Chain A
Amino acid sequence: MIIEQDEAAGIIEKILSYSSADSASVNFSGSNSNNLRFALNSVSTCGAVDSVSVSITSNFGKKSGSVNITSIDDESLKNGVLQSEKIAKLSPDNAEFMPPPEKQTGYYEVKEYFEDTNSVTPENLAEKISYTLDKAVQNDLVSSGFSKVETKFNSIGNSNKLLAYSKSTNSSFSSTMRSKSGNGSSKVNRAYANIDLLNVRKFSDKVIDNALLSKNPQSYEPGKYVTILDNSAASDMLNNMLWTLNLRSADEGRSFFSNNSKGNKIGQKLVSDKVHIYSDPQNDLAPASPFNSEGYPIRKTDWFSEGVLKNLYSTIYWAKKTGTEYISYPSNIIMDGSDKTVEQLISETEKGIFVTRLWYIRSVDQKQMLLTGLTRDGVFLIENGKIKNSINNFRFNESPINVLKNVIDMSAAEKVVGSETGDSKIVVPALKLSEFNFSTISDAF
């Protein structure tokens, strides 16, 4: 269900009018979506979802309680308020309690809503996908994939008169093409607020080309090699690092960004000078929410500039306690690239490995930010500036910090979806690295 700004504000006001708490806040959101899955060159499952969600937090003194419901009739809303108040009253004082923010001004203007995306019908979606399926059959490949369109609204209000509202759309397309022999595979995954950017034909053609190229992989020993991580693989590395850019855990000595005996590593040069990573809700490719879940503004923020750690995100409590400027967690993450294409990076590489995607990435050691995971859907050997052949998959043990230290070149940045980046909005270049640690062979294709 999509509710427009004025009506949403009215409903929030109504919910707050039921409150008898010292303070209260409401997050009110809803969406309409339609999705389609395909596999074995045929449609499999699908679904339309019409949903709404109301989250109410009530505070008495330093006590709070939250409730989340999916009904918006008066009785449900009253009961929700009552329930959150009951929980708050039954809770002990929270020493770190912070009252809801005052009314905020100066949210960035962000264009996240596109009517072309909003108006897609199930027929439109099926037609787009029919191209992908036909092409797969023509090329003797087995396709699978997923496409979804969604319109959402998100509004926040509290008893301090804060009000925030956003309406957004999203359209996504992903497809994996596998060779019938089972040893070749390639995948593409893209998502844009504006469906006009979601060129299903172009992305389908590209993934089919790569799938054909990935067939009959040769075996290759694990080791540390010059490596190009395609945008998608780079996005997974970047996204994993994003979770650790937390000021409090750094200050408390439990993160890579802890400066051992005191404080954190802000101001230290930790990665290559080429690295500029920041967040900006107004980014054209990845427009993102200009406010966070409490209603605080999300502003353009540098994380790394010329390789130096510039900021870590925080909470309002920790910022006050440490006397630092409050920086919200971000709604997107952007890494600047160059003017080069990925093909150019390959053509300038004498010998190296080209990794298209990563998979099942998990933390192995937090202190070193060591991650393990695997390559997937196409690994290639580069020789004399050309893709020589496809090779087996590897398990890697590597750290995103090392990756950023070892950057020797990069392509233009693109909006991509990684294997495990979910709905995170990421714009990232392909990265050419002086080395990357492939630790064992994976027999999977």
Chain B
Amino acid sequence: MQRREFIKNSAIGCCGIALSGIMLDKAIGNNSFDSNVNEETLKSFYSFDENDFKKLADTMIFTAKNNGASYSDIRICKNRNQQISTRQEIIAGISDSESLGFGIRVLVNGTWGFASSAFIKEEDIIKNTILACEIAKANSILQKNPVELVPVKVYNDTYKSPLITNPFDIPISEKIELQLKYNKTAMTLGADYVDSFMWFINEWKYFASSEGSSITQDLFRIWAQTTPMVVDKNEGKFESVETQIAPLSMGYEYFTEFPFEKEIEACVESAKMKLKAPTVTPGKKDVIIHANNLFLTIHESCGHPTELDRALGYEANYAGTSFMTPDKLGNLKYGSDLINLTADRTQKYGLATRGYDDDGVKTVEWPIIDKGLFVNYQTTREQARIVNQEDSFACAYADSWSSFPIQRMPNISLKPSEDKMSLEDLISDTEDAILIVGRGSWSIDMQRYNFQFTGQEFWEIKNGKKTGMINDVAYQGNTIDFWNSCDALCDESEYYLGGSLFCGKGEPGQISPVSHGAVPARFRNINILNTKSQI
């Protein structure tokens, strides 16, 4: 691409404004792979400065306004993604991806328009702004509910995930070596196979709106998991147990913060035990669900149904709707009095934590379920007015420059008991139950009533003691019955922040990272299935 030629010749589109070419000189060829790779030749994307982005944003805003937009915003995004995967001593894949581009959102006649491109040049900014306005105009023939945004303050700010060591500063060889060491630990202890992966994610974005905000954010996420598997070929059986150290917004200190090796050893032992464990007797049972399983139940049965767009029907064609419809706000007894679920986009290490959402709204904390009562939804600027709120809860998110921002889930966490209660105490207090540990498979209906979850490990509890491992367990329930059957929670000493990097929603499909804090909890009279006797 003839960069300098382009800058010289860049005409001012039909309605753009003339721009100096300075930032373009830095922008194009904007590969920003990290410094440990090649110091000599790699130019950093970060050589862009705030003024450069502002100028590109000004071009967009000016063009949008001239094309009839009452509101416009731009996100310039760089998503970096490093993945390492191995099995046993074999490298399964090492890759480093960087996706760079911009997305422009405009409102014309109360209808959204959106256009995006991987080519960050003044010419493309103008072209795509005009295209976004044209799409909005074309689609406005279908518009029956013009979009109205609740007001937002103007911010000029930056935000960076708190981290000690930037994972992209660590040489890839060190990461591979660490992972192969984990695999060796598993194999030495008797695993027949072991699969491991590491993810390092950096989401950098600049946001500017026609209302005057200009926000730069630099977000980091990390995850590593090892899954040992043991096979009994004679019996034709195999079992695996995954490590349960969750993805978090954290730096490379993740690997010293958590006892990976110890957990891998425990996984191998558990997998061996699972091969020999007796199968569960199905029926109604009390269960203690460990926080590293319950976080996902929270995600599915509280996180998704309290998304306002789902409740209103905006996601009916794919993710589904919600049983928690607006008429239930403030009067649905969602759970027992012990249940407090709080949404929080400011929580330390939370995957959905950031300074501002993709509407440019500052992030906050707010209650969703208060002493069992359903009190709030998750909202964006477009949605807040629908439930008569003056402010958005800052839940707009787009997973890439090429995605339209939609309402996405904040970190939603279960508040621990204020009374002292360790997991051991809870087990001692329980007569006959199953302890369910670890995230297994999960499935829930499109309105979020009926769910069925498995786990990694299942233990029988008799007369206050863990008596032995059992296998083939799934628990199935109805959201309201389930949360109302909760009669005991552990205290904050058992708090675990679980999460997922890949929560799916929207069309075209988008992923979103989100965390859920939980403590182990006891639920009475839950439907237990034997997964070996279903067919």
A326 interfacial contact with B, CB 8 Å = no
User: In the bound complex, do residue B236 and residue A360 qualify as a contact, i.e. CB atoms below 8 Å apart?
Assistant: no
- The residue of chain B having its C-beta at the shortest distance from the C-beta of A62 within the complex is B91
B-facing residues in A77-129 (Cβ within 8 Å): 78-80, 82-84, 86-87, 90-92, 94-96, 121-123, 125-127, 129
**Which chain A positions have C-beta within 8 A of B474?**
364, 372
A305 interfacial contact with B, CB 8 Å = no
Q: Give Cα A187 to B141, complex, Å.
A: 24
User: In the bound complex, do residue A82 and residue B38 qualify as a contact, i.e. CB atoms below 8 Å apart?
Assistant: yes
Contact with A along B205-227 (1 / 0, CB 8 A): 00000000000000000000000
A108 to chain B, nearest CB (A): 28
Total number of A residues with any Cβ neighbor in B under 8 Å: 106
Contact with B along A428-445 (1 / 0, CB 8 A): 000000000101111111
Q: Give Cα A427 to B390, complex, Å.
A: 49
- The residue of chain B having its C-beta at the shortest distance from the C-beta of A51 within the complex is B118
**Which chain A positions have C-beta within 8 A of B441?**
362-364, 372
- The residue of chain A having its C-beta at the shortest distance from the C-beta of B114 within the complex is A47
A330 interfacial contact with B, CB 8 Å = no
B94 interfacial contact with A, CB 8 Å = yes
B201 interfacial contact with A, CB 8 Å = no
**Which chain A positions have C-beta within 8 A of B90?**
94-96
**Which chain A positions have C-beta within 8 A of B312?**
40
Q: Give Cα A83 to B33, complex, Å.
A: 7
Given A86-B38, A398-B535, A252:B447 Cβ within 8 A: no
User: In the bound complex, do residue B29 and residue A44 qualify as a contact, i.e. CB atoms below 8 Å apart?
Assistant: no
Contact with B along A32-73 (1 / 0, CB 8 A): 001111111111111111111001000000001111111111
User: In the bound complex, do residue A68 and residue B446 qualify as a contact, i.e. CB atoms below 8 Å apart?
Assistant: no
Partner of B318, one of A65, A75, A79, A146: A146
Q: Which 9 A-B pairs have the closest CB atoms?
A: A75-B29, A444-B447, A260-B236, A68-B97, A42-B144, A397-B534, A73-B1, A43-B142, A90-B173
B406 interfacial contact with A, CB 8 Å = yes
User: In the bound complex, do residue B402 and residue A47 qualify as a contact, i.e. CB atoms below 8 Å apart?
Assistant: yes
User: In the bound complex, do residue B508 and residue A148 qualify as a contact, i.e. CB atoms below 8 Å apart?
Assistant: yes
B197 interfacial contact with A, CB 8 Å = no
Q: Give Cα A152 to B41, complex, Å.
A: 32
**Which chain B positions have C-beta within 8 A of A402?**
535
Q: List 21 interface pairs A-B (beta carbons < 8 Å), by A numbering.
A: A47-B404, A50-B116, A51-B101, A51-B116, A64-B94, A69-B99, A75-B29, A75-B43, A79-B33, A79-B42, A87-B96, A127-B141, A146-B317, A261-B234, A361-B443, A370-B535, A372-B443, A376-B320, A440-B527, A443-B447, A444-B320
* Residues of A near any B CB (own CB < 8 A): 1, 34-52, 55, 64-76, 78-80, 82-84, 86-87, 90-92, 94-96, 121-123, 125-127, 129-130, 133, 142, 144-146, 148, 174-176, 178, 182, 185, 187, 252-254, 258, 260-262, 359-368, 370, 372-374, 376, 393, 395, 397-399, 402, 422, 437, 439-445
**Which chain A positions have C-beta within 8 A of B37?**
82-83, 86-87
A-binding segment of B126-134, B255-263, B340-348, B430-438: B126-134
Q: Give Cα A403 to B3, complex, Å.
A: 58
Given A146-B318, A253-B233, A444:B450 Cβ within 8 A: yes
User: In the bound complex, do residue B447 and residue A445 qualify as a contact, i.e. CB atoms below 8 Å apart?
Assistant: yes
User: In the bound complex, do residue A87 and residue B94 qualify as a contact, i.e. CB atoms below 8 Å apart?
Assistant: yes
**Which chain B positions have C-beta within 8 A of A440?**
450, 452, 476, 527
A172 to chain B, nearest CB (A): 10
Q: Give Cα A48 to B450, complex, Å.
A: 37
Partner of A91, one of B3, B91, B318: B91
User: In the bound complex, do residue A374 and residue B142 qualify as a contact, i.e. CB atoms below 8 Å apart?
Assistant: no
Contact with A along B402-437 (1 / 0, CB 8 A): 111010000000000000000000000000000000
A-facing residues in B291-337 (Cβ within 8 Å): 312-318, 320-321, 323
User: In the bound complex, do residue A71 and residue B30 qualify as a contact, i.e. CB atoms below 8 Å apart?
Assistant: yes
Partner of A48, one of B132, B193, B316: B132
**Which chain A positions have C-beta within 8 A of B124?**
50
User: In the bound complex, do residue A70 and residue B316 qualify as a contact, i.e. CB atoms below 8 Å apart?
Assistant: no
User: In the bound complex, do residue A50 and residue B532 qualify as a contact, i.e. CB atoms below 8 Å apart?
Assistant: no
**Which chain B positions have C-beta within 8 A of A253?**
231, 233, 236, 238
B507 interfacial contact with A, CB 8 Å = yes
B237 interfacial contact with A, CB 8 Å = yes
Q: Give Cα A55 to B532, complex, Å.
A: 43
Given A35-B508, A44-B112, A48-B132, A174:B317 Cβ within 8 A: yes
A235 to chain B, nearest CB (A): 16
Partner of B95, one of A68, A361, A368, A370: A68
B176 interfacial contact with A, CB 8 Å = yes
Partner of A122, one of B112, B134, B315: B134
Known: A39-B315, A126-B141, A443-B323. 13 other contacts (CB 8 A): A39-B313, A45-B112, A66-B94, A67-B33, A69-B98, A71-B30, A86-B37, A91-B176, A142-B313, A146-B317, A175-B317, A360-B446, A373-B443
B117 interfacial contact with A, CB 8 Å = yes
**Which chain A positions have C-beta within 8 A of B101?**
51, 70
B511 interfacial contact with A, CB 8 Å = no
A-facing residues in B106-128 (Cβ within 8 Å): 111-119, 124, 128
**Which chain A positions have C-beta within 8 A of B318?**
146, 174
**Which chain B positions have C-beta within 8 A of A121?**
138
A43 to chain B, nearest CB (A): 4
- The residue of chain B having its C-beta at the shortest distance from the C-beta of A373 within the complex is B443
User: In the bound complex, do residue B443 and residue A362 qualify as a contact, i.e. CB atoms below 8 Å apart?
Assistant: yes
A202 to chain B, nearest CB (A): 18
Given A42-B142, A42-B145, A73:B449 Cβ within 8 A: no
User: In the bound complex, do residue A260 and residue B233 qualify as a contact, i.e. CB atoms below 8 Å apart?
Assistant: yes
**Which chain B positions have C-beta within 8 A of A363?**
441
